[in-house]
Structure 1
């Protein structure tokens, strides 16, 4: 099969022939149709310090995908050949305290698709049955391929009740944009997004936000004035990981506000802990998706009109995978899709 392969530790990938993966008794084999490029994939391709410490080559990366079931193991009961599927990329141990308590997203021995085990940048991928997600009939394959990052957005956005609340989202990358659409869909009053990239802010405006603020030349406090807010934002969703984002967010929150953090900072961030205490602000870290409550929630929202299609800005055939990675590194782009069907 064709696969994007990292044969040795170091920069680069290569489109090469690799053996097809074998299907175990509890596994599902999937013919990949589309893959999305994640920031994790960019780290692995460039082989930065994080990748050097977290990834063991050789490896087939990739964890955002959609495809069709082509084979099931002898003990698989819930999937059939032809099903349109994606998968939860965190394969858990099933035996640690959190797994046994039903909190699988908190597993202490998670094995991640495309990071710790061969992933979906290939014509075929094999996943345990317990990780496979069947999509509704007729779903767009591009949309199905980005349920993984949509799940990050949904997990973050739905960490706290949003109905009637004023929501501040720092970072207008693809996940921040999807979180904005989710907040609007479930009934937030005002949704404000910040970034420093005008292209991404323009994209945010197409997705129904009330204000898209360029914090390179305007402060978040001005958004409160323009919207006639009286007490500050109720909910903060920090998606950027930028050193200045969380401190400024805290400056603009009301008493009792709640913050969900998804963005990964590259260095420690100093914040005003006195305000966190005196204003009784709740801060919650987010990683991945809840298994599988988040998947049910995002499927329900998509089926009832949640439209995140504007976040997909580019699609490339697999033969142009290098162009796809180049586009993913450029500012102003949304999600980049690689189409494997040409093969």
Structure 2
């Protein structure tokens, strides 16, 4: 499909009595755009033409500069429960990780202005329920999601409520800015416990696990042990700063970790794969009075030894969901600006939005780190 130019910038040259030349940029936005949508129930997505959304008084319109794929998007692509079947009503533009430039603001918007580079918190909270009033917007009782309950960001333009906008430094690379939503999951996980000078085991090789490795290194963990199952993920873990990588297909993770720690176990354990087996193994490899956080979402019931590996070891376990809004965003931004945490090694694919199928194929095959697309 041949797409005509969907926007243009009109430049007006205004001369004043001073010698200065003032250039005014005026965005002229067409009424259609290309977008990746779930057009019908069932597997697959389509690149289609869609109306450019019109921002309401409390919203901003952004021109999408970069968007990135997440495991949730793959579930939607495959039409897997619970993220798709029974939840999404087609047609729906998907995608919830984004970096965009503000091109129009609603009359009530005060936090950003035209030209600002922004990202978006993917959890749309109502600000009224008891959880929101307690500062827990990430677990709002009426939570909605971009790309699931409302149109998302795999498009040329998108609208974002002002309450969900995060303003980026103007010089932040757009392919890094779009990753912040995903990085935030890892930041929230890592800092849910004291990791400084600790021995930490990370189970999982996907992007959130890989981000966690880099954050642990920046946070001063003494030793980072990573358990993953593919050569790509093991290689990425080394690049992100892992001290030891364990191929779960070749070595028993529990036995290996106990050998590495003089039979003491790790101080901290992060489960980031969604595997019940990984959760059980990580708890066994955790020392008594250790601490764990679970970010991965198992798709079926999990069996663990509650007596030996949980109660009798007197451990602390936390469930982690999303990001702490906006605390986690601030920490993420500071980590990126400090230069001590660099997520760029995880970007294995940079694609045009038109080639979105290639990105999903790479994600489904497991032959990808982070896939970033550019409309």
Do Structure 1 and Structure 2 share a fold, with TM-score over 0.5? yes
CA contact (8 A) 1:4 1:122 kept: yes
Whether 1:79 and 2:112 are equivalent positions in the alignment is yes
Whether 1:320 and 2:355 are equivalent positions in the alignment is yes
The aligned runs of 1:27-106 (5 Å cut-off) are: 27-50=59-82, 51-106=84-139
- Give the corresponding residue for 1:108: 141
Could you tell me which runs of 5 or more consecutive residues in structure 2 were left unpaired when the two chains were aligned: 1-32
- Give the corresponding residue for 1:158: 191
CA contact (8 A) 2:254 2:281 kept: no
TM-score, normalised via structure 1 length: 0.96
Could you tell me which runs of 5 or more consecutive residues in structure 1 were left unpaired when the two chains were aligned: none
Q: Pick which of 72-81 and 326-335 moved more.
A: 326-335
Q: CA RMSD of the aligned region, Å?
A: 1.3
Q: Which has the larger radius of gyration?
A: 2
CA contact (8 A) 2:127 2:137 kept: yes
CA distance in 2, matches of 1:247, 1:202: 24
Equivalent residue in structure 1 for 2:320, among 266, 286, 291? 286
CA contact (8 A) 2:39 2:90 kept: yes
Whether 1:242 and 2:275 are equivalent positions in the alignment is yes
Equivalent residue in structure 1 for 2:343, among 308, 325, 334? 308
- Higher strand proportion (structure 1 or 2): 2
Q: How many residues align?
A: 340
- Runs of 4+ aligned residues of structure 1 deviating over 6 Å after TM superposition are none
- Give the corresponding residue for 2:36: 4
Q: Pick which of 67-76 and 10-19 moved more.
A: 10-19
Give 1:321 deviation, angstroms. Answer: 1.4
CA contact (8 A) 1:198 1:332 kept: no
- Give the corresponding residue for 2:240: 207
TM-score, normalised via structure 2 length: 0.88
CA distance in 1, matches of 2:286, 2:39: 48
CA contact (8 A) 2:258 2:265 kept: no
CA distance in 2, matches of 1:178, 1:33: 22
Give 1:225 deviation, angstroms. Answer: 5.6
CA distance in 1, matches of 2:359, 2:344: 18
- Give the corresponding residue for 1:233: 266
CA distance in 2, matches of 1:320, 1:41: 15
